[in-house]
Structure 1
Amino acid sequence: MYTALYRDPSGKQRSAGTFTSERAAMRAGRRAESRVETGGWIDQASGRITFRDYVETVWLPSRHVEVSTLAGYRSYLGKHFLPFFGQRAMADILPSTVQDWVTAAAASGLSPTSVAKYHVMLHSVFKRAVRDRVILSNPCEGTELPKIPPRKTRILTPEDFDRLVAALPDRYRLLVLTDIETGLRWGELIALRPRHIDFLRRTVSVEQTIVEVSRKHSPTGQRMIVKDYPKAGEFRTLRVSDDLLAELSRRIKRLGLSPDDLLFASTDTAGGNPISRNTFRTKVWLPALDRSGLDFHVRVHDLRHAHASWLLAGGADLMRSWSAWGTPRS
């Protein structure tokens, strides 16, 4: 009996099988060497690792991302991927397997946009497995994804905004007015502190954001994670109106806020905690939207679109007299 020997990409000697003739063994060895040279070689044993073990021991630890992003990955894995792929060997997951997951996800009510987003993450897992020579090819290639219908958007007009602001509880009006004038993301808005305001130069500095994650998936165990903006593309300074500065100044004095306190906290007190986006949406925003009588849905995020639209229109709407909205209880 003759054993066909070759070396894998790391230089380790391996067997390509045992044969009855030297000639057959040499051919098998040369075929194996050729696969190594052309990049077509994989470790058959490595391909038996389960999807769960691979993502938890290899893929996740290799992700050099923010803690909030990592928490999101863990949440997506637990909710969407591990129940379906978890116990399957990586080598057994075929393009048809991925297609079955897409079909099941769509049938469960997951939107086409969400299916596409999660598929990107799944593709990344298998792309890493190909590089690690755990599998030969990425089973996410060529997946038929559900078509994403074009989203019909209606930009909030100043008149619409007037009705919405009037329907808000007094204590939240300044938060929303600050958002429409600055166009900040929610996390940036609730991360504002008195030290970020330069009353002399009439500017607001965007230096931080607050990300809300599930404690279950948070690497730090915290639900609200404060992230500093060290990059020039994220850190920015915005010029704001005298009216907004005056209202913010009154709020700071009335609440006795220190430079490091949150401007808009979960309670109208100094040293308050960050506002939960979901709590604000369900207990404040949606009830106000109902009271406003607007005949279309408006998300908090849509204030950013309105801000951009009004700026493109010349900025006049952002300079409207604050008397049109009433004086918020700062």
Structure 2
Amino acid sequence: MGCTRVRVTKAGIVRYQALYFDARGRLRSAGTFAKEKDAEKAWREAESKIRTGHQWDPQRGKQRFRDYVEKKWLPNHIMEANTRQDYTSALYKHIMPYFENMKMREIYPENVQEWITWLKARGVGPRRIQYCKVSVLNAIFTTALRDNIVVIHPSRGIKTDPVPEKIRKIITTEQFDAIYRNLPDADSQLLVETDIESGLRWGELTELRVKDLDFETGILTVSRAVVELTRKSHPEGKRFLVKDYPKNKKHRRFKLSPQIVAKLKAHVEAYALTPDDLFFARRSPEAVPAHLQAVDESPTFIAPNGRTYTHGTITAYNLGKCKCDRCRRAYADYRAKRRAEGKDRPRRPRVVDPDPHISANWFRHHCWYPAREAAALNFKPRVHDLRHAHASWLLAGGADLQVVKERLGHLKLSTTEKYLHSLPTADETALAALDKIRSGPARPPAGQTIRRDELKAAEEEVARLRAVIADLTIAQHTKSAKHLRPA
């Protein structure tokens, strides 16, 4: 049961504070008023809302945006680890500097609109503004509205600049072969080929283990994924977090082609992998079989700057930018010798992460980008574009749309439909039909004529057949009329 407390200010003014008990039995204030009846009305309304499940505490709306986000929303909002990392980055870079000191109940739609203008003035792109508003800010105020911290949703209905959907450019088979030939070693080639053959996401591909593939049937089971995080965002301070489910939280099974299954089986035998080992992992040079190592037997090489350097020298490592085993070893021996002589201050030992998962950033810069540049394509495809190419190639080859959807793990069929007619040759049928209409009715080939007597004979035969059909129709109607005539 609530009550009213009399309070006297320092100036001697009598005020009345409305007190009520919340759902947890704690005594809370519903406000301070000049009249006793107003205070009694306030605590009764507060208790009524608690009984109906619509608790309202005006004091909660006074908390500042930063306090609410850091103490209530961010620690308790359920989301994926990589989503939390992205939200936190956008929050502290684009949202918090504007709203941090504002009280939650004092943030209105006009403030959100001013914030969008503020971001545009700072050079933030439309796509990033849309992400911050739609994904992050909307999620914060949706939760605040649900918890009765604010009475309106200030960011709902606020428009941002349109973000046009980019035209998806699909890798052709020739372009893929050009990149494949320029990859540095057999392991990276097998990884890329498995990606184009399966359409797996990077996190699913790099978490693929030997036990996930049935070599007898060629059936691949996708049941896990790995995400790469900063050590601050990882719950254990590591870099890679393995999830027991792929994206959309749905396991899937599909079949691989016999040729890629045979290559994966040979890969397993070459490295003597166990069922729990990763197919693709960071391995030391000593662990790579001799027949899989890409060794440059030539003593010299031509660097990107146009000069010739000798392998196994400091100059080749520093100026030639060569990072082969011989050049790396020469540089390491040189630094070790100087440290032993006391000429260089030893640097702090680097912490080596024992996790065998392949970093997406490392693969891009050490394998994919160099191969892409060497292929000299007219655009710059990403590693993720191999997944797009997998879907487009299947649909262009006549695969069922529902089957492709299940292979890719899409939730909606409309997502898979985006890959229809995405190859450069997809419009050739339409162009052929257009050309057929524009060229008019078919004409006999050059040098070929139709004889007049043949044409006349054909016309007479058509006329004869029409006469026969007309006689049969008249006879049938006459017979029907006699049958229906009364006796």
TM interval, shorter chain, is: 0.7 to 0.9
User: 1:219–1:108: structure 2 CA closer, same or farther, 3 Å change rule?
Assistant: farther
Q: Per the alignment, do residues 246 and 184 of structure 1 end up closer, same or farther by CA in structure 2, a change over 3 Å counting?
A: same
Return the offset for 1:114: 2.5
> How far off is 1:231 after superposition?
9.5
Q: CA deviation digits over 1:105-141, x for unaligned, max 9?
A: 3344433222222212211111111222222112112
User: Quick one: percent identity of the two aligned structures?
Assistant: 39
Partner of 2:385: 302
- 1:133 maps to 148
Aligned to 2:235: 219
User: Post-superposition shift, 1:292?
Assistant: 0.9
State the partner residue of 1:112.
Answer: 126
Alpha-carbon contact 1:50-1:90 (below 8 Å) kept:
yes
Q: Which moved more, 1:25-34 or 1:194-203?
A: 25-34
Corresponding position of 1:97: 111
Q: By how many angstroms is 1:154 displaced?
A: 1.3
* Distance across 1 between alignment mates of 2:382 and 2:248: 28
Q: Report the equivalent of 1:185.
A: 201
Task: Pick the aligned partner of 2:368 from 244, 263, 285.
Answer: 285
Q: Secondary structure at the match of 1:226?
A: strand
CA contact (8 A) 1:6 1:16 kept: no
In structure 2, the CA distance between the partners of 1:44 and 1:13, relative to structure 1 (3 Å rule), is closer
Cα separation, partners in 2 of 1:218 and 1:232, compared to 1, 3 Å? closer
Q: Relative to structure 1, is the Cα distance of residues 44 and 315 closer, same or farther in structure 2, using a 3 angstrom cutoff?
A: same
Task: Please say if residues 42 and 135 of structure 1, whose CA atoms lie closer than 8 Å, have aligned partners that are also in contact.
Answer: no
Q: Distance in 1 between matches of 2:367 and 2:269?
A: 25
Aligned to 1:175: 191
Q: For 2:92 and 2:73, how far apart are their aligned partners in 1?
A: 14
Seen in structure 2, the aligned counterparts of structure 1 residues 95 and 15 have a Cα distance that, compared at 3 Å, is closer
Q: State the TM-score, normalizing by the size of structure 1.
A: 0.82
Task: Check the 8 A contact 2:30/2:57 in 1, yes or no.
Answer: no
**Pairwise CA distance, 1:56:** 1.9
Which one of 234, 253, 257 corresponds to residue 250 of structure 2?
234
- TM-score scaled by length of structure 2: 0.57
User: Paired residue for 1:70?
Assistant: 84
Distance change in 2, residues 1:199/1:293 (3 Å): same
Where in structure 1 are there 5+ consecutive unaligned residues? 317-330
Q: Does the 8 Å CA contact 2:91/2:132 hold for their aligned counterparts?
A: no
Q: Distance in 2 between the 1:13 and 1:84 partners?
A: 30
TM-superposed deviation, 1:39: 10
Q: 1:146 aligns with which of 161, 173, 178?
A: 161
Change (3 A) 1:36 1:278: farther
Q: 1:285 to 1:65 in 2, by over 3 A?
A: same
Equivalent residues, number: 312
- The higher radius of gyration belongs to 2
Q: Which moved more, 1:97-106 or 1:239-248?
A: 97-106
Tell me which moved more, 25-34 or 123-132: 25-34
* Greater RCO (CA < 8 Å, at least 6 residues apart): 1
Q: Name the counterpart of 2:74.
A: 60
Question: What SS does the aligned partner of 1:259 have?
Answer: coil
* Counterpart-to-counterpart distance in 2, 1:173 and 1:108: 42
How far did residue 227 of structure 1 move? 0.8
**2:81–2:233 Cα contact (<8 Å) kept:** no
Local SS of the residue matching 1:238: strand
Task: Please give the alpha-carbon distance, in whole angstroms, between the structure 2 residues aligned to 1:293 and 1:221.
Answer: 40
The alpha-carbon distance between structure 1 residues 246 and 59, as it changes in their structure 2 partners (threshold 3 A), is same
The alpha-carbon deviation at position 224 of structure 1 amounts to 0.6
Return the letter of the residue paired with 1:217.
S
